[in-house]
Structure 1
Amino acid sequence: MASKPGPFTEWPWHKLGSFKYVILAPFVGCSFYMYCLGKGDKDLLNMMSIPLLLVWRWLHNQIWISLARFQTARSKHRILHRSIEFDQVDRESNWDDQILLSGIVLYLSKTVVPGATNLPLWRTDGVVFIILLHVCPVEFLYYWAHRALHHHFLYSRYHSHHHSSVVTEPITAVIHPFAEMVLYFMLFTIPQLTAALMGTASISAIAGYFTYIDFMNNMGHCNFELVPKLLFSMCPPLKYLMYTPSFHSLHHTQFRTNYCLFMPFYDYIYGTMDKSSDALYEASLKGTKEAPHVVHLTHPTTLYSIYHLRLGIASLASKPYAFQLYYSWMLWPISSGFMLLTWIFGSTFTVEWNRLHELTMQTWAIPRYSFQYLLSCQRDIINSLIEKAILEAEEAGVKVISLGLLNQGEELNGYGELYLTKHPKLNIRIVDGTSLAVAIVLYSIPKGTERVLLRGILSKTGYAIALTLCQRGVKIITVCSDEYEKLKLRLPAKNRCCLLHTNVYNTAEAWLVGDGLKDQEQRMAPRGTHFIPFSQFPPKRLRRDCVYHTNPAMVIPPALENMHACENWLPRRVMSACRVAGIVHALEGWDTHECGHEILDVKKVWDAALRHGFLPLVVHE
């Protein structure tokens, strides 16, 4: 929102939320009705041109969002080395409002503007006409309108909303108050409206003009330099006809320079070009290679989790993952296609980068889904991908790599011990985060608890928790004889007295659960039970009268930068234990691995995490 919001700042359909697309229903219905009656335009392509154009615009923008986020996470050509936070993602979550507005304008134009119906697919004279009208007057009028919007009166009421984003993303280009966006649409309709009135408009010209505007807008706000120098060397005048991301980035940092829309020659003419534009372009194109100190290795979970990755849909990635049936079915073909492509051709890819003081971190993802980790035919392939990622991180000088989710499975690689066996002289430290996970679970158990029920598939973390609790004199109850026998073999003889076996489920107020907890078992828990998972995945939440904790995780310190996506199902600015453990490992400079059957001192790791600003995640009953 602008610092002093003016009239018509809010979009008219703001209160409709995710149902805002229904405002197009009357226009689509009327168009279809007229087509079926045979009145007016009976050309199917003309009837479908507007819906197809709107869908294409949405996909085009989304491609730029994913590309920019991927490049800014890994590219050395990043322009501004600053962070984006959740407030910016929330502010820019309505980027598709301008697509809705364009749909309304197109439908109304088709109804009231002579020459806007029965358009041919292509007319060369119309394309040339639109190009000339864009160069002047659109670029000229935009330049002066933009300068006017930087006057303190209009800036504080409208344009400051756009400049709230100093580090830009592609969709920052269309984040404006409603009144300001209407002004831009009035400018952009000049070429199209004139072409229609002159009888030279065509479907290709209109779609091409919208695509050009979207392309240039997205490119100019993507925060990484991608325009090759060779392009300007081959055609020097192009420097005045096409801006670059670094050119427009200066407008967001200096404010009083580089006002142009897409063509910088008006900035040259009127003396508003920033003098450092060429130097910043050269520096951004050359780039600076920055190797991370810590890498967290994760993977997608469900088919639809790709949309919740930072590289996916920004508004979804900024919220904890939750399965949404209404869009999951619509996106099923894309999800399945992406899964097949990664299955065949996929390699590890960079998801995001973060910084804590001088420590730089990246998150890498193995292109495999959770169900693939359960397939025996995929184990060797997944292990080779993880091993390759570890060796690449080693070569890049990474200090610590943490294995997230199923990348540290016992059956898969023995909690990471497989890679140490194959490469005993690794300089990089492999961390699975067990010791910190144990500490978090112990902290989560309500004070005064004397008996806990242990349920689910036992893991390295589960055994470590059981041993620590028995040493503290807490009774551990098991309802499965198999679990009881396994724990009995692992526990020292002096601590086995704390291990109890029973068939009764309501004997403990805290349940420590791993994977495999059954629904009927949850229903047998007494009211007010705390379900505390020690697994990588949280249990299904079936009971409203019980307390569900997240899987082991901690709140990150305020100084940790560039957090604008949630880690799977965790709340905002919360990280999983294995990811936090890798960061703490690097901050402390510990020279040991924590994988295989190796567990660090639980108290030592817990104290170190608190000392570096990580906090326990408080669960409200």
Structure 2
Amino acid sequence: MENKGISIKNKKGAPLFAWPWENLDGFKYLLYGPIVAKVLYAIYKGEIKNEIWCLHILILFSLRALVHQLWSSYSNMLFLNPARRINQKGVEFNQIDSEWHWDNFLILQAIMGSFLYLSFPSLANLPILDIRGILCCLILHIGISEPMYYWIHRLLHSSTLFHQYHWLHHSSNVLNPFTAGHATFLEHLLLCVVVGIPTLGTALIGYGSIILMYSYLLVFDFLQCLGHSNVEVFPCHLFETIPLLKYFIRTPTYHNLHHIDMGTNFCLFMPLYDKLWKTINTNSWEYHREISSRTNSRVPDFVFLAHVVDVMSAMHAPFVFRTFSSIPFSIKPFLIPMWPFTFMVMILMWAKSKSFLFSFYCLRGRLHQTWVVPRFGFQYFLPFAKEGINKQIEDAILKADKLGIKVISLAALNKNEGLNGGGKLFTNKHPNLKVRVVHGNTLTAAVILHELPQDVDEVFLTGATSKLGRAIALYLARRKVKVLMLTLSAERFIKIQKEAPVDCQKYLVQVTKYQAAKHCKTWIIGKWTTPREQYCAPSGTHFHQFVVPPIIPFRRDCTYGNLAAMKLPDDVEGLGSCEYTMGRGVVHACHAGGVVHLLEGWKHNEVGAINVDQIDVVWEAALKHGLKPLL
């Protein structure tokens, strides 16, 4: 029975389906409060030995959460494991939202651990280590917990219980370490029994120890995350060398088959029990061999070459915090302690000096990937860094060409005019490139122009002689809109003015001060604007902008537009992260421009100056393919 396409009604009304603290949302962590309070009070009194069990609970469950997070980070590091990914689809927003509270089971087991401490005070006096306990724990796990889990799991797959409870776990289309904890309250109560037999049983027999408690629970979580990882980590020759080993370890491909064919592969960690009770999927080892021996991943049709804005935004990567990357980026307090570590990671990436795979999605059956150049935004403005940055961009373009990628689109500063002439440097240097290099600014210009009011008759334009500024000015002049072009260079202004039709040149007006626009309520910002300069605008002004980073909104009596962006078509698949500050399913206009270039099958490079005649063509093509402007 295949998971895809399961159509099951929500059965949250079933007894013990919902978690008791489900309505608390983030406040659920206050349930740790009594344990934390006991530990802090004991430390204050100098009597921590009396509450050592509570301290162990806090440490242990922090480590267990870390195990899940590290496995999730590894699974989402697409640049490390693209070929051995089992399910080639990406984790989508709906799955991330569904699994948002994956750690409910940790709270449950922490609470149960506290009750056990109250019921069995002798647990506080466990020795550090007792070797006999390890053997006892293994016997209890293999002899009781493993078969118990197997039969509980099979029972949960019976028609009634599956439709009332277990469907929730199988609603996750792409397995992820967090999927391991995504289940109902009843299922995790049953899992507490499975976990408790080896740990509490060993302690009650008299062979328990602190190290055993830590080791068993951490190894249990490690193996659960391993089984739910979407990356195969075991090489096929390992099982060919030691055939019996395949019956004692559940591989990611083995468990993934259970989510495809739900009548097979029920075991917890040991396929031996599937073998004994004849529920092993006959394709398990062939499937494992196929995935683990794969050397090449699917070649994308399109690549968006992005860059890091700053250290904080670097932590918006899907492999850092999946939930955080699934919402538009904003600076959060929890990011601040991670700043030094993130900076060191970025230093290592600079040393490697290669772009890395960041995220992907599928549109109209075509794979779209985002690669990231490991450079911060400020580096693009350092003269001595220019050569190194261009070398990284060039390497990415040549790699894309070698792989057979059709279109590579350059993000923001990667196509800076002063850096490489909007990508022209690379197409001139490599005239035989098969991959199409696209800066996407034609669609960016189109988005900005279509945001303007239909009846606008005058605009104020900063960054007026830039690539985008020039195209916007010429387009508006053709439509008899007066453009106040802020520039100190008369030579550059005249050059642009001469490009306009003779009867339209009068609509382009050079101004040298912000005060010249004191009566104009439509400002298009293409250059950083200070608060003082913004106050030159009249009340009620709307600031359209294409400056990176966007200007800070200081005026309460004015409105500010976002950077030019478009919403991807509704049929996009595998998208689970937001592009910087953009909303879900929204990408920068230059990114969307590359997508349109691919979908239209255009064979030209879009580099250098913007072709004003193509602005409406690209806009209509974007709408035709289902991309939508933001309202």
TM-score band w.r.t. shorter chain: over 0.9
Q: What is the correspondence of 1:135-150 to structure 2 with a 5 Å cutoff?
A: 135-150=142-157
- Please name the residue that 2:626 is paired with: 613
Q: Which residue of 2 aligns with 1:155?
A: 162
Aligned-partner SS, 2:484? strand
Q: Check if 1:554 corresponds to 2:554.
A: no
Name the residue aligned to 1:303.
311
Question: Which residue does the alignment assign to 2:552?
Answer: 540
1:25 equivalent in structure 2: 33
Distance 2:93 2:55 in 1: 37
- CA distance in structure 2 between the partners assigned to 1:538 and 1:599 by the alignment: 25
Matched-pair contact (CA < 8 Å) for 2:235–2:293: no
Q: Distance in 2 between matches of 1:266 and 1:580?
A: 51
Q: Flag the 1:423–1:247 CA change in 2: closer, same or farther, 3 A.
A: same
Structure 2 counterparts to residues 243-258 of structure 1, below 5 A? 243-258=250-265
**Which residue of 2 is the match for residue 204 of structure 1?**
211
Displacement after TM superposition at 1:125 (Å): 1.7
Give the AA of the match of 2:493: L
Residue of structure 2 aligned with 1:378, choices 385, 389, 393 = 385
Residues 329-368 of structure 1: pairs in structure 2 closer than 5 A: 329-368=336-375
1:149, 1:224 → 2: CA distance?
Answer: 26
CA shift, 1:98, in A, is 2.5
Contact 1:41 1:118 in 2 (8 A): no
Matched, 1:292 2:296: no
Residue 397 (structure 1) shift: 1.0
CA contact (8 A) 1:405 1:536 kept: yes
Q: 1:72 to 1:11 in 2, by over 3 A?
A: farther
Q: Does 1:490 align with 2:490?
A: no
Structure 1, unmatched stretches of 5+, are none
- 1:221 Cα offset (Å): 1.6
State the AA in 2 paired with 1:474: V
Separation in 2, partners of 1:243, 1:352: 28
- Give the corresponding residue for 2:230: 223
Give the alignment's TM-score, normalised by structure 1. 0.92
**Following TM superposition, by how much is the alpha carbon of 1:164 offset from its aligned partner in structure 2, in angstroms?**
0.7
Distance in 1 between the 2:605 and 2:81 partners? 26
How far is 1:254 from its partner?
2.0
Question: Letter of the aligned partner of 2:325 in structure 1?
Answer: A
Contact 1:488 1:496 in 2 (8 A): no
Counterpart of 1:449, as a letter, is: V
**Correspondence 1:395 to 2:402:** yes
Aligned residue in 2 for 1:410 = 417
Alignment partner of 1:58 out of 54, 58, 65: 65
* SS of match in other structure, 1:331: helix
Find the residue that maps to 1:425 and give its secondary structure: coil
- Work out whether residues 129 and 210 of structure 2, in 8 Å CA contact, stay in contact via their aligned partners in 1: yes
2:525 matches 1:513: yes
- Unaligned runs of 5+ residues in structure 2 are 1-7
Q: Does 1:184 align with 2:191?
A: yes
Q: Deviations over 1:327-368 (max 9, x none)?
A: 122322322332332233453110122222232221111111
Q: Which moved more, 1:590-599 or 1:247-256?
A: 590-599
1:495-531 C-alpha deviation (Å, 9 max, x unpaired): 4421343615442332211240222344554444332
Aligned residue for 1:339, secondary structure, equals helix
Name the CA distance, whole Å, in 1 between partners of 2:46 and 2:506. Answer: 85
- Deviations for 1:431-451, whole angstroms, at most 9, x for unmatched residues? 101111111111111221111
Query: Does structure 2 retain, via aligned residues, the 8 Å contact 1:216–1:262?
Result: yes
| Cα 1:47–1:12 shift into 2, 3 Å | closer
Partner SS state of residue 295, structure 1: strand
Mapped to 2, the partners of 1:268 and 1:547 lie a distance apart of 67
Q: Note the alpha carbon deviations across 1:301-330, whole angstroms, 9 max, x for none.
A: 121223322222111111111111x21223
**Equivalent in 327, 339, 358 of residue 319 of structure 1:** 327
Q: Is the CA contact (8 Å cut-off) linking 1:297 and 1:364 kept in structure 2?
A: yes
Residue pair 1:555, 1:574 contacting (<8 A) in 2 also: yes
Structure 1 Cα separation of the partners of residues 106 and 340 of structure 2: 23
Q: Deviations over 1:257-316 (max 9, x none)?
A: 211111112211222222222232222223364211111111221212233222221111
Q: Which amino acid aligns with 1:290?
A: R
| 8 Å CA contact 2:38, 2:54 repeated in 1 | no
**Alpha-carbon distance in structure 2 between the residues aligned to 1:13 and 1:164:** 21
How big is each residue's C-alpha offset from its partner over 1:12-38, in whole Å with a ceiling of 9 and x where there is no partner?
Answer: 333333343232132122123224434
Q: Which residue identity does 1:580 align to in structure 2?
A: A
Larger deviation: 85-94 or 106-115?
106-115
Aligned pairs, number: 615
Percent of aligned pairs with the same residue? 35
In the TM superposition, what is the alpha-carbon distance from 1:43 to its structure 2 partner? 9.7
* 1:38–1:348 distance in 2 versus 1, CA, 3 Å: same
Contact 2:72 2:177 in 1 (8 A): yes
Q: Which residue identity does 2:76 align to in structure 1?
A: R
Q: Does the Cα contact within 8 Å between 2:90 and 2:360 map onto a contact in 1?
A: no
Q: Secondary structure at the match of 2:547?
A: coil
